[in-house]
Structure 1
Amino acid sequence: MTLRRGTVARYAVGSVGTGGFATLPGLVLVFYLTDTLGVAAGVAGLLVTAAKVWDVVVDPLIGAASDRERATTGRRRRLMVTGGVALPVFFVLTFAAPAGLAPAPSAIWVMLAYLLAATAFSLFQVPYIALPAEIADTYDARTRLLTARVVVLTAAILLFGGGGPALRELGGDDERLGYLLMAVAAALVLGAAMLGASTVERSAGVRAAPTGDPVPGRNALVHYRQGVALLRTSRPFRTLLGAFVLQALATGAMLAAAQYVATWVLHDTSAVTFLFVALVGPALVFAPLWGRLAHRVGKERAFLGASALFVVASLALVGLAWAPGTWVYAPVAVAGAAYAGMQSLPMAMLPDVVAHDARTRGTGRAGSFGGVWTAGETTGMALGTTLLTVVLASTGYLASTDAQAVTQPASAVLGVVAGFSAVPALLVAASLVPLGRYPLRRSDVDAATTDPLGPAPTPTVQENP
């Protein structure tokens, strides 16, 4: 099956939605809770984590529902459309806590709205992750598809990470109004991108007809057991997911710490925009380069190289504790170049894992893989934020409302630096252990398509007129 440019473009645009939702709340939500709503740092971290723990519960069910839709209709579109419609509403509500509420009810408001937003996001994200194994059927085609996705993802991170805080400043002295303006603008872009990507199966020529795969049942316990079984029976999935979750922890902590670094280390709240430009700008260039390197040496080796480079760059940021200054943008840029590979390569490896599983164990589990992957990714990002709040709480960080001014103790500033540098470096270094055990190589993956004795089924396609 030929992978057409239109298919690549439609799939990649979905990353505007996934990248935006992953970036903006991770950047500003905890800061919104602690420095606008007056919620204590530890409590703020628990609230964000509670919403993400819900993902662990619901994502395997969404994965099974997506596989059920695929088996009965031949497509995964309906869940994606539902998520694309619902997410903007709940995203706006997350940043619309009514003025005058005390910190406790404000925190509950944010948690419930964010939980619903996260659920809507999963309705889109889980089937979206399952699609590459079905619309691209070779090792290199998946690299091309996912590299394009990460280029768009990188641009989305830059757009939301830099533009979101800038829009927030339009509220002037009214911080709540600024957050609301930011949320409305972001929600419109998120919804449009997700709905646009929901048409990718039609672009790829996948017929809206049943696939013939077994239809998953509706017993929730069975789906949780299947998720555990995927981890137990698929060593490639277990090692890849283990590395990716540790790196999600790292990037979640670094992302959440960026606003604190700008405010309390660099003493310029607008510096968060420049941090994001430094982080994401190089990634726009390096994402295709990591794809080329993967074509030459293999995805797993390129992934190892990107991760090691990120460790070195993150450790360099420890110097902020003694000499804060504009020099910080140089190592952040190096980390951004590495981050491009840390995003594009594992996402290109996941459909390889799905194809290998189909070749060795049977078909129809792409949605289940997507559900477990999304649960791991979102939980990792959320726990990264929680880890930062634990560091802040343990070092004496002082919460405040938009009407208060505080001075942070030196220990809290040191905690901010650690959350931005040493903590991410250690987590990514730890991810090298499972990554080093990842077993698949190009020959293993392409055998799933070319072996005449038992190739993994590919989706029924038709030529466009």
Structure 2
Amino acid sequence: MRDIHHAAGAGAQSLTVGTKLSYSVGNVGLQMLIAAMNFMLMIFYTDVALVAPAVAGAALLVGKVWDTVNDPLFGWMTDRTRSRHGSHRVYLIYGAIPLGIAAAAVWMVPPGLSPLAAFFWIAITYTVFDTLMTLVQLPYQAMAANMTRDYDERTSLTAYASMGALIGFFSGSVFMPMLVRAAPDARTGYALAGSFFGLVAGVAIAVVAWRVREPAGSPVQPDEADSPAMWESVRETLRTTLRNRPFLMLMSAATLVRLGLTLVQASLAYFVIYQLQGDKGDLPRYMGTLLGVVGLSLFVWKVVVDRWEKNWAYILGLALCTGGLIALYWVGPGDQRLVTGILVVVGIGMGAHWIVPFAMVPDTIDHGEMQAGERKTGMYYGLYGLMDKLARTLATVMVAGMLDITGYVPNVAQSASALQGITLMTGVLPAVCLVLAIPLLVAYPITRTRHAEMLRGSGAA
């Protein structure tokens, strides 16, 4: 029997295990794509496709310029979408296959391109992928905010979704280098692995569309489609969202954390190969250690969040992660055991980021509904997703810029300046980003008691 959840029951205190599991499957596919790109995309461009770091970084920025428009716009669209498939599920139904195809194309840079041709190829394929990713991931995330309004049940749903995300993230980061090494050559390996991951992502999204349902809404009235009125509505919804102080504080903190963690992910392959003087075969082991610890720590963080306030649990995780990242600065060639121990500490701390902020976003949406008198879930996730993706891309561009400035040359022993840049990008700068997020979380105002008061005031409890 299908796990059918009706939004009319969004105030329910609990969700079935089947519903939570069905919803979590989508994260397996989405995070598989994200992990492969976070860990391997830049080194694929520089060491396999032989594209200059500055060219690859500039091309990736093109997609993020478009993101400044498409994330809020698509968030607004999902809030107003009415179809027999529901306002969010319809995007999963029609977006699953195109997303899988676009994800595969990212890893297929033709050989021998000029710098200008490589720039356009990367810019176009990545922008198309990123647009389709937004059209699918944003509605997927927005569904969770409406599935329950219970403060602790949201943490439970997030724990299931985070476990799905971890499985996907592990698969994308660990299996990508393994599949590449199994192929006749690296270029073929990346193309085949990218195609496989695209297929898995499409199937995972299709599973969510099949198993988790929404009721059909009323159709949008003709005057609502008028272009001037549409843009005014987008601007007004955006202004209302940006007046939500707890949301802004959480989004700013999570963006800084995402920037820091993506710097680690984008630099780790360079760090292992050139600073630690390992080889590409070591990458799956280190990534597996990091993500395995993250997975085990999720159960601990669920218990911590049930007993503490969410913001303080998040702060504890960031403190642990920061300590481990700073320690990476003193790692020298061959210190493999030391790196493994550091990654264990980092993984424990990183586990908090996998579960806590995603349980906090729906609480801030409840606050916005109380403040404005209407619920605009899509716009909140649009803005949150925009800042998350900008942070990911900025981190990748920063790594590319550091490689270019410090004289990085692919596939050879690196100069002292290049090694220094790689070490800074892997440990010290990410730690600074995490530290800057902590004051925002200390001031975050929504507690378990405050959230219960909001629900009583709105009549949703």
Contact 1:151 1:283 in 2 (8 A): no
SS, match of residue 280 in structure 2? coil
Which of the numbers 106, 116, 123 marks the counterpart of 2:128?
116
Distance in 2 (alpha carbons) for counterparts of 1:415 and 1:311? 18
SS, match of residue 439 in structure 1? coil
Contact 1:38 1:103 in 2 (8 A): no
| 1:38 maps onto 2:50 in alignment | yes
Aligned to 2:199: 188
Distance in 2 (alpha carbons) for counterparts of 1:386 and 1:201? 37
| 1:8 maps onto 2:14 in alignment | no
CA-CA distance at 1:104 after TM superposition: 3.2
Which of the numbers 127, 136, 152 marks the counterpart of 2:164?
152
In structure 1, runs of 5+ residues without a counterpart are: 459-465
For 1:59-208, what aligned pairs fall within 5 Å after superposition? 59-69=71-81, 74-172=86-184, 174-199=185-210, 201-202=212-213, 206-208=214-216
Distance in 1 (alpha carbons) for counterparts of 2:209 and 2:369? 24
Which of the numbers 447, 456, 459 marks the counterpart of 1:455?
459
CA-CA distance at 1:340 after TM superposition: 1.3
Which of the numbers 355, 369, 384 marks the counterpart of 1:373?
384
CA shift in 2, pair 1:432/1:216, >3 Å? farther
CA-CA distance at 1:310 after TM superposition: 0.8
For 1:322-333, what aligned pairs fall within 5 Å after superposition? 324-333=335-344
Contact 1:258 1:275 in 2 (8 A): no
Contact 2:83 2:216 in 1 (8 A): no
Distance in 2 (alpha carbons) for counterparts of 1:38 and 1:74? 45
* One-letter identity of the residue aligned with 1:35: D
CA shift in 2, pair 1:119/1:419, >3 Å? same
Contact 1:59 1:371 in 2 (8 A): yes
Q: Output the aligned Cα RMSD.
A: 2.3
Contact 2:80 2:87 in 1 (8 A): no
Q: CA offsets per residue over residues 379-414 of structure 1, 9 Å max, x none?
A: 11111111222222222212x4xxxx5332121012
Contact 2:240 2:372 in 1 (8 A): no
Which of the numbers 244, 263, 278 marks the counterpart of 1:234?
244
Q: Which runs of 4+ in 1 moved over 6 A?
A: 211-217
Aligned to 2:452: 446
Distance in 1 (alpha carbons) for counterparts of 2:133 and 2:383? 14
How many corresponding residue pairs? Answer: 445
CA-CA distance at 1:348 after TM superposition: 0.3
Identity of aligned residues (%): 26
Contact 2:237 2:376 in 1 (8 A): no
Aligned to 1:254: 264
Distance in 1 (alpha carbons) for counterparts of 2:289 and 2:107? 26
CA-CA distance at 1:229 after TM superposition: 3.8
Contact 1:135 1:201 in 2 (8 A): no
CA-CA distance at 1:166 after TM superposition: 0.7
Distance in 1 (alpha carbons) for counterparts of 2:378 and 2:350? 26
Q: CA offsets per residue over residues 198-220 of structure 1, 9 Å max, x none?
A: 24542xxx422449999797534
> Larger deviation: 161-170 or 405-414?
405-414
Which of the numbers 411, 417, 424 marks the counterpart of 2:417?
411
> Larger deviation: 343-352 or 187-196?
187-196
TM-score (normalizing by structure 1): 0.90
